[in-house]
Amino acid sequence: MTNVNTKLLFHSKVIVMLLILQLVIDYIFVFIYPEVNPIRATLIGATALVILFLLPWSKDWSRLPAWLAFLPIYSSALFGALLVQADYLVSKSVVSAVVHALILIVTYVIIVFARK
């Protein structure tokens, strides 16, 4: 039981770190590229990839290589932007933030289980 709790705590920390990283990158891109579309989502994903490659400790805290660790951020940004463009979500709303977080969490879980 302790091993399960340790793994759950570890994955929760990684998800929180990825959510914070996405929030910071998205906040920066609000000023650089204010329009919400797949191009901005790709820029957010590419920025996350570069940051995760440049941070020497990123592989230690996530136990994932950078090219896998950026995928939850990219998928969250991309699918969130597509939902905003399809008028299913309103950008900068609480519902949008929850949907972005859910997409990131689901993508992370898929990646972790696919690696086993």
- pLDDT category at 30 given cuts 50, 70, 90 is very high
pTM score of the predicted model: 0.91
Average pLDDT over residues 33-57: 92
Q: Is 116 helix (H, G, I), strand (E, B) or coil?
A: coil
Query: Is pLDDT at 42 greater than 90 in this prediction?
Result: yes
What is the overall mean pLDDT for the chain?
A: 91
* Nearest CA among 109, 54, 42 for reference residue 80: 42
Class of residue 36 by CB neighbours under 10 A (exposed 0-12, middle 13-18, buried 19+): buried
Which of 7-16, 38-47, 98-107 bottoms out in mean pLDDT, i.e. has the lowest? 7-16
DSSP letter (8 states) at residue 56: T
Tell me: the pLDDT tens digits for 50-96? 999 998 776 677 778 888 999 999 999 999 999 999 999 998 899 99
Domain coordinates in residue numbering, the chain: 2-115
pLDDT value for 59: 64
